[in-house]
Each structure stands twice: as C-alpha cells, then as structure tokens.
Amino acid sequence: MEKSKIIEVKDLVFCYPDGTKAIEDISIDFYDGEFIAFIGTNGCGKTTFSKCLNGILKATSGTIKVNGIDVVHTKDCTELVKNIGYVFQNPDHQLFNNNIYDEIAYAPRNLRIPEDEVKQRVTEAAAIAGVTPEVFEEHPFFQVKGIRQRIAIASILSLRPKVIIVDEPTTGQDYKQSIEVMEFLKMLNEKHGHTIIIITHEMDIVAEYAKRVVVMTGGRVLSEGSVQEVFAQTELLEKANIKPPQVTRLAQRLESVGFDNNIISPEKMFEQWRQLAKQPVGK
C-alpha cells in the first residue's frame, strides 16, 4: 500500500538571530501514520528542526509542506496547528490556564470552535491522555510532572492534529513513567492514526517504539531509515556519537558466529540464538 506524504521538507536552512546556523541543509519526507524518532547529540538541531516543521520558527530558506500547507509562507497559523502539534520539552512552559479543563480547551477555543464541540474534544483528549474528569477543576501547575506532561499532550490532542511532535517525552522520568508516556504515544499512532515524531536520547526507547529513525549531526541528516537499518550502520553511528542499544551491540560483536547486525530486541536475539543452537557445532 502506497502511503501518502504528510510532511515534505526541501533544502531547509535555519539561522538563529545570533547567526548560529542550526539547520544546514535538510531535505526529507515523512509519511502518514509513521512513528519517527529524531536522534543525535546535544545541539545537533533536533529541536530547531521540529520547531521549523510546525512554523514556530520560520525557515531562513527552503520549503516545508505539511499536508499541502506551505509552512514557511502561510499567514494562517490556525490552519497549520490543526495539522501539526508540538509538545514542548518542559510542560511548565505550556500550561497557563487556571484549571485543567480550560487548559485542554484553550487551543480549540482559539480556533473559534463552538463550545459544545470544545467540550466533546476536551473529554475525548483527556480520556485518551488518561486525565480523569475529577481533576478538571484543579490547577495544572500543581500536578506531578508525569501528569503535567499528559495535560500538555492533551492540550495539543484537543486540536486533533494529524502530526504530533513530542520533544524528549521521557527525559527526567523514571522507567514506569517513560513506558507509560511511550505506550500512550504508541496508542495514538496505532489506534488513532496520528503521525508521531519523538525527539529522544534513549536508544532503548527508539528500538522499542520507533519505526523510522532520523540521525542528525551538525544541522544535517546523517542517515535515516528503519530502526534495523540505522542501528546496523555501526561506523556511521560512531561518527554521530550514538551508541545503539546494548542488545544490538552484543549481536554485532557476535556477528562472526552468525548473529544479524540489526537485532533491536532481546526477544529477537533469543530467537536467533535458539536457531543457531540447533545447528551442528562447527558449521
């Protein structure tokens, strides 16, 4: 089945006002329904790139199209936010209403959506994000970090954007919370058909959840492809200072005895080991 393009980026360059050229030259396409991870060292331009994608930062040159909308030149930001949502790294920057209900309702109200539909959207977004109606009256600021993050995501979900970008969803969270956030994004991707882009430094998370990986260094895309393809490129990853997950590195070390170099899960490793163990010794 041919998937349709949802984001088209061509010759993108971005400079900050102080002259830092954070994006050198990027051309890449993303497809409807993908689950993508941006990886790369600190300061390689992941955040800048994703802010360009949804028009928060206006590209210095090049073109970006999201669902056919020209992100760089459009004046109508409401049309844009309906298509692409961006969840900031720190939830505290994006919560400014007095209670959780208004917080989630804030974006649809900006789009002048009638109040009864707003209500429906809030209920739906909150339910998906796991925010229960009992806390609707509470102040978003005084929730624990995991909940604040969910409220931040719910407040974007109520826009029902086709693409959702989440900047470092698991940074600073414990294992359980990380898994919860990631399972939640996975559900949005699989059940609700949202295209998900995450930015992360955690390769285990990438291996487990992402379908496609974009490796960035110095404001460029160094490599991209399926998770297996990318993690198999040992030398390239070294250049970008990225270490594949432990299980992948173990398999790569054992390549000479017959393991594949693109194993990304312990289950797959175990399966291969079972197969190899069945073969006669010496072969």
Partner 1 sequence: MEQTRKMQRTIIGYIPAESPMYALHPVARLILFLATGLLPLFIEAPEYNVLFIIIIFFMLKYSHVNLSRLKIFLPMMITVGIIINLTYFFFPINTEEGLIIFSIGRFNAHFHSFMWAMSIYIRIIALLLASIFYFSTNRERDILVGFRTLGFPFIVSYFFGLILRSAGIFLEDYAIIREAEQARGLDVRNLSFGGKVKHFSMYLVPLFTLSIRKCEDISIGLFSKGTELSGKVDGKKRPDYLKHKMKLQRTDKWIIATIIAASLAVVYFDLVVDSFSLENAWLYRTLRHTWFNL
Ligand X SMILES: Nc1ncnc2c1ncn2[C@@H]1O[C@H](COP(=O)(O)OP(=O)(O)OP(=O)(O)O)[C@@H](O)[C@H]1O
Q: Which of the residues 26 through 65 are near partner 1 (CB under 8 A)?
A: 43, 51, 54-56
Q: Which is nearer to ligand X, 103 or 202 (CB)?
A: 202
* Stretch binding partner 1 (CB under 8 A), from 17-25, 178-186, 223-231, 248-256: 17-25
Binding mask 183-222 toward partner 1 (x if CB under 8 A, else -) reads: -----------------------------------xx---
Binding of residue 78 to partner 1 (CB under 8 A): yes
42 binds, among Mg ion, partner 1, ligand X, none (CB under 5 to 8 A by kind): ligand X
Report helix, strand or coil for 254.
Answer: coil
* CB 55, min distance to Mg ion, A: 17
Binding of residue 241 to partner 1 (CB under 8 A): no
Closest to 211 in 3D by CA, of 37, 31, 32, 7: 37
Residue 238 DSSP code: H
Q: Find out whether 244 and 231 touch, Cβ atoms under 8 Å.
A: yes
What single letter denotes the amino acid at residue 194?
A: H
Q: Summarize as ranges the residues that interact with ligand X (CB under 6 A).
A: 16, 18, 20, 22, 40, 42-48
Residue 59 DSSP code: -
Residue 8 DSSP code: E
Cβ neighbours, 10 Å, residue 114:
10
Binding of residue 18 to partner 1 (CB under 8 A): yes
Residue 135 DSSP code: G
Binding of residue 22 to partner 1 (CB under 8 A): yes
Residue with token string 């939830």: 91
